[in-house]
Amino acid sequence: MRLAFFDDYGEVPGHHPDHIVGLGRAARAPIYCPDSFLEGRRELTELIHHPMVGDVDRTPGPARTNLGTACADAVRRGADVLVNLFLDENWDAFPIARHGIRMAHTLHRPGAIEGTMGGINAVKQGDAVGVLRRLAATDPIVVHTSAGLRQASRWIPADRIVHLGWPAATEEAIRRRFAAAGAATAGDEPYVLLIGRGNRYKGIRVLLEAVGSGDHRLRIGGKLEVPEDADWLAEEFPRARVTWQPGWVDDQRLDQLIAGAAVVVFPYLAGFEGHGGVSGALVHALTFAKPIVVTEELRTQVPEVAASLVVPTGDVTALQAALDRVMADPRRFGQPAELEKHLVDNHSYERHVEQMINRFADH
């Protein structure tokens, strides 16, 4: 079975580019996405990329054209299945001209498809769940979390859902990172790392209170979110030692930040799990075999074989205590060797493609 991949996410890319590029490379398959998804990426000469047609403005017209064009081109290239990686927000493009190709669809955040949690679907016209049910009659629907599986099962039969772990790296990268994690390192002062922008839902204020005494250095693999800017930080947390990236953090720089961190922290607040989506940043960090501290909100997304500290959501004192424990001896809280096999089997691009092919064949 030959695959092709489509994604028309039009906001700040986040992990969307990593996802479609990683899958395209692993499957040696064409990808259909905005040109911006490939910016700053290296060694992509072998990737078959078809840029989007027209403007991606979150309305059904361009999305319908883009999907139809992708279907037609995928057929010409010999693909058997076009995987639509963002049904969450392009559901209103259907029905489309499929040109005879089969399709599968991914729900990144199943809980958000109804629009009851806000976001773009809250202002869209039409019946998103009705579209999902019609598509599921013939197309597999992919989810990445146990919460997403429960949510999607409210609307469509369980046998129409394909539950696959989020892919975060190649098998070679996972094995290389685990090998490197076991080696002694020397360099700058150890630091706590928050991946991505310092958003409120990621618990940035709770984290800053936990490190506000200045005992631990905090780095943010992104930028602070307004109004949490430099002036606000200096006024509210004058002793905190915080640095962040002023602009977009590309994949190479993010990997450097994770590799150099003593601990990666995910102080997410209540409500994140309700979207049913995955924390791609968490899986990414786990591939480096780093000590991880998460709140209860992400407990279900931490593999059982992982050695991670879980703290009550929103609890500053507990978060501070956990960070103190890890920073006192980071090597003591490294990840076990069993996690490497789990990540390769469930979160590598190669295995993800294999699992897609095997599961799609059953639908």
pLDDT 10s per residue in the chain (363 long)?
A: 999 999 988 766 678 888 999 999 999 999 999 888 888 776 677 889 998 876 556 677 888 999 999 999 999 999 999 999 999 989 999 999 999 999 999 999 999 998 888 888 888 989 999 999 999 999 999 999 999 999 999 999 999 999 999 999 999 999 999 999 865 455 678 999 999 888 888 999 999 999 999 899 999 988 777 555 677 788 888 999 998 877 777 778 889 999 999 999 999 999 998 989 999 999 999 999 999 999 999 999 999 999 889 999 999 999 999 999 999 999 889 899 999 999 999 999 999 999 999 999 988
Predicted TM-score (pTM) of this structure? 0.93
Alpha carbon distance 119, 136 (integer Å): 23
Alpha carbon distance 85, 15 (integer Å): 12
Tokens of 189: 């002062």
Backbone angles phi, psi at 268, to 5 degrees: -55, 145
Alpha carbon distance 70, 51 (integer Å): 9
DSSP conformation letters of 223-248:
-BPTTSSHHHHHHH-TT-EEEE-SS-
User: How many Å from the N-terminal Cα to the C-terminal Cα in the chain?
Assistant: 13
Of the candidates 55, 122, 133, 121, the one whose C-alpha atom is nearest the C-alpha of residue 92 is: 121
Alpha carbon distance 185, 319 (integer Å): 25
SS3 state of residue 6: strand
Answer whether 217's CB lies under 8 Å from 245's CB: no
Measured CA angle at 328 (ends 327, 331), to 5 deg:
75
Other C-beta atoms lying within 10 Å of the C-beta of residue 125: 6
DSSP conformation letters of 258-319:
HHH-SEEEE-PPTTSGGG----HHHHHHHTTT--EEEEGGGGGGS-TT--EEEE-TT-HHHH
Residue 99, CA distances (Å) to 5, 86, 104, 137, 360 in order? 15, 20, 15, 18, 19
